[in-house]
Amino acid sequence: MNQSSSGKTRFTLYQGAILGALNVILLIILYKANNLFNSGWSSLSWLVYFGFIPWSTIRLRDKFLSGYINYGSSFRYGVKISLLSGIIIGFFYYLVLKVFDPGLVKTLVVEMEETYLTMGFSEKMVEEMSSTIDMVVNPWFLMFTGILGSLIYGIIVPLITSFFTMRKGDPFQEAMKSVN
């Protein structure tokens, strides 16, 4: 691995950590406001992704790629930093539900059961679904869904933003590099 590749890898890891930290800060604010799971405020994470991924991709392009990046590379970079962010987010969910607030799991189960009852499900049906509900609010499952959710953001956002961050080089100059 050469110096530039090593620096680019470090940059990617660092940017993924920053994206994860920004999302965790948003989640902490939502947690403190008791809106961690049942809130439209969590859609603010779209703003975080749409703001950070293009900005970070442009920095990568200008710092390591001589100002040029194609669509595929831009897309892959966005997915990579989102996946790294998702690991941090998943770990945050695990810590909240397993270490900092284990009682939140029981609260989530009760809220889900109440939601199903208000949707018209019978009490018998809700009782039969209790094992599924317990699985959904399991800290390990929420850790996995945090990673998966971030990966989904990391596919959708770069699909759109890579059109704006890509910059193609001069094909003549690229061909002449191989001649020299």
Q: Which of 59, 49, 110 is nearest to 81 (CA)?
A: 49
Which tokens hold the place of 104?
């939140």
Cβ count within 10 A of residue 147: 21
Q: Which residue has the tokens 């208000």?
A: 118
Q: Which residue has the tokens 């990966």?
A: 151
Q: 94 with 105: CB under 8 angstroms?
A: no
The domain limits of the chain are: 3-168
Q: 79 with 19: CB under 8 angstroms?
A: no
3-class SS at 69?
strand
The percent helix, strand, coil of the chain (3-state, each to 5) is 85, 0, 15
Cβ count within 10 A of residue 33: 10
Please give the pLDDT value at position 24: 92
**pLDDT tens over the chain, length 180 residues:** 455 678 899 999 999 999 999 999 998 888 888 776 666 777 888 899 999 999 999 999 999 888 889 999 999 999 999 999 999 999 998 898 888 887 877 777 777 777 778 888 788 887 777 777 777 777 788 888 888 989 999 999 999 998 898 888 766 666 666 675
Q: 159 with 74: CB under 8 angstroms?
A: no
Please give the pLDDT value at position 180: 58
3-class SS at 156?
helix
95-100: long-range pairs with CB below 8 Å, 24+: 96/31, 96/36, 97/137, 97/139, 97/142, 98/139
Half-sphere exposure of 2 (CA within 13 A, CB side): 2
End-to-end CA distance of the chain: 23
Give the global pTM. Answer: 0.80
Please give the pLDDT value at position 31: 83
